Structure formats: C-alpha cells, structure tokens
Amino acid sequence: MRTEATVRTEAANLAAELAAGVSHAVPIMLGYVVLAMAFGIMAGEAGLTILETIAMSVIVFAGASQFIAAGMFAAAMSPATIILTTFLVNLRHILMSASLAPHLRGLRVHSYALLGWGITDETFALNSTVYRERPRHHWFMYGTNFAAYAAWIAGTVIGVLFGSIVPGIEQLPLGFALPAMFICLLVMQLSDRLLLCAGVLAGGLSLLLGQLLEGNWNIILATILSATIASGWEKWKSSG
C-alpha cells in the first residue's frame, strides 16, 4: 500500500523531471519566440485576424506548416489544398514518433496522444539526444514539449499584436532563428563519428534530392536513407 511519503516522493520526482525538461528547452523557447513573432506578423499581413492567427498556433503548433498555410491563405487557395499540403509537410512526424516510441513504452493512450502532438523538429532533436544518454521519465518530455508550445504561443501573440506597431520589424532577419536553432540542436547530437557521417550524408542527400523532387519529399527520403545506412553500418561494425 502506498504511503503518503511515497506519494510525495513520486510527486517530487515528477516535478523534477518536468522542471528538467523545461530547463533543457530554454534554447528552443528563445528561438520559438522570435520565429513565432515572424509568423504572427506574416499571418496578419496575409489577412488572418488576431484570433485566427493565435488559434492556429494553439491548435496546429507546427511552424513550417503554419508559415505555408498563411502564405497559401494569402494566395486565396482552397481549404482542401492547404490541408493536403500541410499534411504532406508534416509526414516527417511519423518518423520522429517512431524513433521516440521505444523510450515511451507502457504509457496510456492519452499520454501518447499528448506527447505525440507536442513533437516538433526541435523538441524531437532535443528529446532523442537526452533519452539516448540515459532513461528519463516521460514527464521530462512533457516539460520540453509544452515549454516550447508556450513559447510559440507567446511569440505569436507578440507578433500579431505588436508587429504592426514597431516600424521596420518585418525587415529584421527573424527567419534566421529557425536555421540557427537547427544548427545548435544538430551540434548537440554529433557525439561520435557515425552520427557526424550520418548528418553529413543526410544533408547532402537532401540537397541532391531537393534539386530533383518537388515539395518536402527530399527531407523525408534523405532521413530514411541516411538513417538506414547508418543503422546498417552500426550493426555491421558491432557484429564484426
């Protein structure tokens, strides 16, 4: 039978994991605030209302898809076209979820739903690095995902409410926040030669396929190919 002391200890451990996730997500939060500000400004210029812009960040929470959707909305494209396009852009989330799944076994359905919904490129990169180093409670991932979520909403609100007030803000290179954040997260994962080679291979394949294919299929295919090659190489080396 669980005692009151046991319950308090478990609650303290969960709170510590949640706080650790939030603290690890600080670099992502800083980048998201800036990037979401850019989205808020762009969505306002595309004709979305303040409520619609904020609602998109609250409900969708997918940076690339939101930028694309706002642009397509400005171009007066049909809702079906916008939905299909953003769906294709987000297909990579299937790979991310499959990669994180082995670290999250035995959870309830609602936990899987919340954790899966909160996955972004940046939180995936951070969580996959941390969980590869040592096992963590899934509340750590709650911390990283929802800290990033809060930062994205806050940046959107700032951008859509105050973007038009500050003169010349649309001319600032706010879009550089995304590649800068990706570079930081990539460097965090390059812990050995195999990962370095896999990263270089994925980047090269993505650039090559990007010249041959339309849309974002180059990213998905480059990810699958490089991960398959790196996994096969690792198994071959370990068996040898």
In tens, the pLDDT along 100-156 reads 888 888 888 888 888 888 898 889 989 988 988 888 889 999 999 999 999 999 999
Rounded Cα distance between 160 and 150, Å, is 16
- Tell whether 117 is covered by a domain: yes
- Tell whether 184 is covered by a domain: no
pLDDT over 60 at 219, yes or no = yes
Is residue 139 within 8 Å of residue 16, measured between CB atoms?
Answer: no
pLDDT over 70 at 186, yes or no = no
Question: How many domains does one find in the chain?
Answer: 2
- Tell whether 118 is covered by a domain: yes
Q: For the segment 8-28, what is each residue's pLDDT rounded down to a tens digit?
A: 778 788 899 999 999 999 989
Domain residue limits at 162: 4-175
Report CA torsion sign: 95, 96, 98, 99.
positive
**Same domain (yes/no): 87, 141:** yes
Q: What is the pLDDT of residue 20?
A: 92
**Same domain (yes/no): 89, 167:** yes
- Tell whether 33 is covered by a domain: yes
What distance separates the 2 farthest-apart alpha carbons in the chain? 64
pTM of the model: 0.71
Q: Helix %, strand %, coil % for the chain, to 5?
A: 80, 0, 20
